[in-house]
Amino acid sequence: MPASHSPARRPFFAAAVLALALIAAPARAGDAVSASELESFLGLSTGALDGIGGPAFNGSGLRTSFTAAAGDVLTFQFNFLTNEDPSLLGDLINDFAFVSLNGADPMVIAEVATTPFTASSSSFSMESGLLSFSTTLVSAGIYQLGMGVVNVVDEMLPSALLLDAFQLNGLGLPGGDFEPGSQGFESIGAFSMVGGEFGPTPDGRFQGFLSSGTTAVPEPAGVISLLVGTVGVATCAACRGRETPTRE
């Protein structure tokens, strides 16, 4: 007789194929949004991103809120990565990263045209290396901090922004990290929490990763857990398929 697969084993094979597909294709965390959507999310005025870096095409952003006293110093560390070529139309296709406070005019913290770059060992061609941002808050109150990365002119070659080590007066900003369980940030567009695959993590095991393209970052532990769970469910289904019916 020709060989045939038992129906009880089919769920297992289907689960194995699904799990292998998940490993082969990294999980997508989302796509960059339009410049106007990013401005709205961060409370910026319409056209604010055009005003600081040319015709903003699309991008991604993070925001968080915190309470500060007058004179407090806010700091964080970042790394700007890009696939743009600074020597080729870098002053025109000038992707950039920025920060804003309370919806005021955003400030460029890195850009293709002027940032000193080195070759990157990540999937991006160039990176700034680890840089620091610092600002002194002039008044007491509740602040909304916004950060983002933007494609200028087009989306052919994306840029990205790594963020970590948010501090107020040298102490960790409440919720200002990307470790599991932290809920201090809201995001729009392409955002992931990553380890060291795009660069060293300044604080803890994870850092925030914003992309002006599509974020496709594998989470090995998550994929393995999903693999185990999926195969486990399928195995149970296969077991049920082998059970012998009994009469009541």
Give yes or no for residue 245 having a pLDDT over 90: no
| DSSP designation for 72 | -
Residue 198 is predicted with a pLDDT of 87
Q: How many angstroms separate the Cα of 177 from the Cα of each of 15, 23, 62, 194?
A: 35, 27, 12, 12
- The number of folded domains in the chain is 1
Whether 232 is in a domain gets the answer no
Digit-coded pLDDT (tens) for 171-192: 999 888 898 877 789 999 999 9
Domain contains 10: no
How many CB atoms sit inside 10 A of residue 246's CB? 5
88-123 residues labelled b (16+ CB within 10 A) or e (exposed):
eebeebbbbbbbbbeeeebebbbbbbebebeebebe
Residue-wise pLDDT tens digits, 198-235: 888 999 999 999 999 875 444 443 333 333 343 343 43
pTM, 2 dp: 0.75
Domain for residue 190, yes or no? yes
pLDDT the model gives residue 26: 36
What share of the chain has pLDDT > 70, as a percent? Answer: 73
Q: Which domain holds residue 140?
A: 30-217
In this structure, is residue 83 part of a structural domain?
yes
How far apart CA 133 and CA 95 sit, in angstroms, is 18
Which residues, in sequence order, are bridge partners of residue 56?
152
Asked if the structure places residue 102 within a domain, the reply is yes
Looking at residues 113-130, what average pLDDT do you find?
A: 95
**Per-residue pLDDT tens over the stretch 84-119:** 998 887 668 899 999 999 999 999 999 999 999 999
> Residues 156-174: what's their mean pLDDT?
95
Residue 90, in any domain of the structure: yes
For residue 206, tell me if it sits in a domain.
yes
Give the per-residue pLDDT at 166. Answer: 97
Residue whose C-alpha is closest to residue 58's, from 38, 37, 34: 34
Are 160 and 209 within 8 A, CB to CB? yes
Residue 97 lies in a domain: yes
